[in-house]
Amino acid sequence: MTGTNSRLRVAVTRRLPDPVQARMSALFDVTLNEDDHHLTRDELVEALQNNDVIVPSLADRLDGPLLDQAGPRLKLIANYGAGTDHIDLNHARQLGITVTNTPGVLTEDTADMTLALIIAVTRRLAEGLAVMQSGNWEGWSPTAFLGGRIGGRKLGIVGMGRIGQAVARRARAFGMEVHYHSRTRLRPETEAELGAIWWESLDWMLSHMDIVSMHVAHSPATFHLLGARRLKLLKPSAVVINTSRGEVIDENALTRMLRADEIAGAGLDVYEHGHEANPRLRNLPNVVLLPHMGSATVEGRIEMGERVIENIQTFANGDSPPDLMRPEML
């Protein structure tokens, strides 16, 4: 795809921050979703058939049968987000459609949210908020809402990529003891900088941790990585945090153990079945549930949009986009 960027037809499936939409409108022939409704399958087909580029988000499932209906002019799926579980990447590749994403820009925001969940669960913030909002607070008591101090606790990070390392830095600042299991061990100097202790065995690490935080991508190898068997390895006082991908935890098993007081608490920003959290989790006092807010900062969302624009422009100029999803990544 070469030529003048302003002639590119670009369909954006969800409303993006105003500065991003304004810049896209100045550069391309853009169809925007001004009322921010969730596009129907028919609307997605129309977007795929009539544009050079589509900019989907995680709520838009671009599966094989849908991609088969794409028009001949569609050459690029410029995903707004790092995760691409909603796109059939192999099928897109077979059709000659390039796929890009926006990695890296959300590292700090997601790490911040991870620490927020750790604090919220261990210090019982949701319970305190609920009492205040209900108007039922009866006054201070020496034994009310007793949580736990996070300083000195053992944090087990599963997946020590960019986000895992950012979490480790924050946790160390809070005085936590940082442990990790990852497919690849960090270099000694990085371990020293983070004060992180590597465990070759995930099972062995899990059995020793006070808090376990998931930071792995979703793949066949990581599906239910924290399943029923491994959840049973956790101490009854342990807390589970997930800001990565919902599918890496067996949500039903986690729910059962939380309800049976076999795990002390959980903080979740992602769910196994998209935006549907297990209904039996919703009213548990020891669980904090968030609506996928890990990247929800003005700065982060604008940076995501800028990465999308850069990917589109680079591809349009005939060069390899900086965030190309390569075959070895599929």
Query: Beta strands of the chain (E only): which ranges?
Result: 9-12, 29-31, 53-55, 76-78, 98-100, 154-158, 177-181, 196-198, 211-214, 239-242, 265-268, 287-289
Query: May I ask the CATH architecture of the domain 5-105+297-329?
Result: 3-Layer(aba) Sandwich (3.40)
Rounded to whole angstroms, the Cα distance separating 271 from 255 reads: 12
Quickly count: other Cβ atoms within 10 Å of residue 327's Cβ: 8
SS percent in the chain: helix, strand, coil, step 5? 40, 15, 45
CA 251, 273, 217, 119 torsion: positive or negative? negative
State the amino acid at position 140 in one-letter form.
W
Instruction: Specify the pLDDT at position 94.
Output: 95
Q: What is the pLDDT of residues 213-247, one digit of tens each?
A: 999 998 899 999 999 999 999 999 999 999 999 99
Q: What is the pLDDT of residues 265-311, one digit of tens each?
A: 999 999 999 888 899 999 899 999 999 999 999 999 999 999 999 99
Kindly give the pairing relationship between strand 76-78 and strand 154-158.
unpaired
Instruction: Specify the pLDDT at position 327.
Output: 61
Is there a common fold for 5-105+297-329 and 107-289? Answer: yes
CA 77, 13, 17, 219 torsion: positive or negative? negative
Listed by start position, the domains of the chain span: 5-105+297-329, 107-289
Q: Give the percent of the chain with pLDDT over 90.
A: 91
Instruction: Specify the pLDDT at position 218.
Output: 87
Instruction: Specify the pLDDT at position 328.
Output: 53
Closest of 53, 72, 63 to residue 12, by C-alpha: 53
Q: Phi and psi for 177 in degrees, rounded to 5?
A: -95, 115
Residues 151-173 have a mean pLDDT of 98
Q: What is the pLDDT of residues 177-199, one digit of tens each?
A: 999 999 999 999 999 999 999 99
What's the CATH superfamily of 107-289? NAD(P)-binding Rossmann-like Domain (3.40.50.720)
Rounded to whole angstroms, the Cα distance separating 274 from 255 reads: 16
* Strand, helix or coil for residue 225: coil
Rounded to whole angstroms, the Cα distance separating 246 from 281 reads: 14
Q: pLDDT band at 38, cuts 50/70/90?
A: very high
Rounded to whole angstroms, the Cα distance separating 37 from 144 reads: 43
Helix axes 125-134, 107-122, angle to 10 degrees: 70
Q: What is the mean pLDDT of the chain?
A: 95
Q: Which long-range contacts (CB under 8 A, 24 or more apart) does 205-209 make?
A: 205/156, 205/179, 205/180, 205/181, 206/156, 206/230, 206/233, 206/234, 207/233, 207/234, 207/235, 208/154, 208/156, 208/179, 209/154, 209/155, 209/156, 209/179, 209/234, 209/235, 209/238
Q: What is the pLDDT of residues 87-139, one digit of tens each?
A: 999 999 999 999 999 998 999 999 999 999 999 999 999 999 999 999 999 99
Instruction: Specify the pLDDT at position 275.
Output: 82
Instruction: Specify the pLDDT at position 274.
Output: 82
